[in-house]
Amino acid sequence: MVTSYQNYVDGEWREPSNGEYFETTDPASPNDVVAEYPRSVAKDANAAVEAAVSAQGDWAATPAPERGAILRGAGSILADRKEELTQLLIREEGKTHAEASGEVQRAVDIFYYFAEKTRDLGGSVKSSSKPQSGLYTVDVPVGVAALITPWNYPIAIPAWKLAPALATGNTVVLNPASLAPGVAVELFEAFDEAGLPPGVANVVTGPGSTVGDAIISHDGVDAVSFTGSSKVGEAVYSKATDNGKRVQTELGGKNPTIVTPSADLEEAADLVSAGAFGVTGQACTACSRAIVHTDIYDEFVDAVIARANEIDVGPGENSDMGPQISENELEGTLEYVDIAEKDGANLEIGGGRPDGERLREGYFVEPTIFSDVDPDHRIAQEEVFGPLLAVIEAESFEDALTVANGTSYGLSASIVTDSHTEAERFVREVEAGVAKVNDKTTGLELHVPFGGFKQSSSETWREQGEAGIGFYTIEKTVYNSF
């Protein structure tokens, strides 16, 4: 039996006003329908925003530790249901069990973290130049936040937007991506069970072009947080700022790993492989470019090919790398394989769909590596949201750094080196919001800022940690001469 979900608006589970639903399917077995969701329209989105507007004053007036207790309760509910949510994530998004389980745990940890942060919310006390006067700041919520989230981290990204927004007294409306909305909707089951007041958090499923646009455009929305493609993000940013809203966008990446002659080659191959092929390359921080010094180039290519050869591709429950989420995403990756070959890059491994009975129907693709890639090739410049690695040769550290910075993106970057001088210079000069030394480009701590440079971000507000709190609050300065 197919699970049927509804929108959560003003503390109630509601059918869409038009009565229409859409289905999600298992990318490992596309004939397997997972669930159905409301194909909502602007009327549903507007109702959610109006509920959030009505609830905002009372929620902001709720003591912050009380808000935190509800977040902690929701996190505990998620923890109790971890395996159930993991299975839903595997079936809708295609992640491996380890990846899906880790993502659900990440959501739990995010709610626990921001639950504790509610005890520290407030402002700062300053010394007044007037006698017997108080001078201090207080942080107040922005108001109503519209949250638009992608399919590739369908519970972690909603969690890291929802938790700081709610912790700081804002109310929210979430529009999750339609390819894998299940675990995001389940968050609201947890909110409901944890006792979140009606209207504080609302979720409306359906096309971003309809639901997301209506939420962003609504006069009742004060802030917009979007994660997704650069093209859509630029349109969201333009529309929201034209209406005077506070906006943060986190977008695409073309993330490099520089490998220097002093690097441990085995470690470098492990890190690049994990960054390129983990989560089937469907991460905005995935390593898509390995920039390798001439002296070790051939040896590195052999080592990373060996890693790719060891990857077992198959359904997420029992493999090393799952399918891509949809036929469109699979076709996009395969199209870039053709483009790379036409540009003159050398296909070392992969480049097609894997053989095997269990893989015939799903959206599976082989881990793919190209060598002899020119920095100007399209696979070295454009985001490929799949397990495709371009290996680029560099004659020097300076050359490698120039290549690393030579794209319109700047999200995550890493270097593998045994030289402190190179590491320090890399951290200082690389044009990326996340810089890693002897680590893979993927993987983020939840208590530090996350965001990119250039077309990887609006470069306005960062997410996560204290920075996440900052986006959802406005500082008010108080002069008290009472």
Catalytic residues: 284
Main-chain phi, psi angles of 247, to 5 degrees = -135, 140
Pairs from 185-189 (Cβ < 8 Å, separation ≥ 24): 185/5, 185/8, 185/37, 186/81, 186/85, 186/88, 186/155, 187/74, 187/78, 187/107, 187/155, 187/158, 187/159, 187/162, 188/8, 189/77
Q: What is the DSSP string of 59-121?
A: HHHS-HHHHHHHHHHHHHHHHHTHHHHHHHHHHHH---HHHHHHHHHHHHHHHHHHHHHGGG-
DSSP state at residue 169: T
Please name the amino acid found at residue 45: A
Integer Cα distance of 436 and 426 in angstroms: 9
Type and span of the H or E element at 383: none
Show the CA angle centred on residue 114, arms to residues 113 and 120, nearest 5°: 105
Integer Cα distance of 34 and 32 in angstroms: 6
Tokens of 477: 């300065």
Pairs from 419-422 (Cβ < 8 Å, separation ≥ 24): 419/260, 419/262, 422/260, 422/262, 422/397
Q: SS3 for 186? A: helix
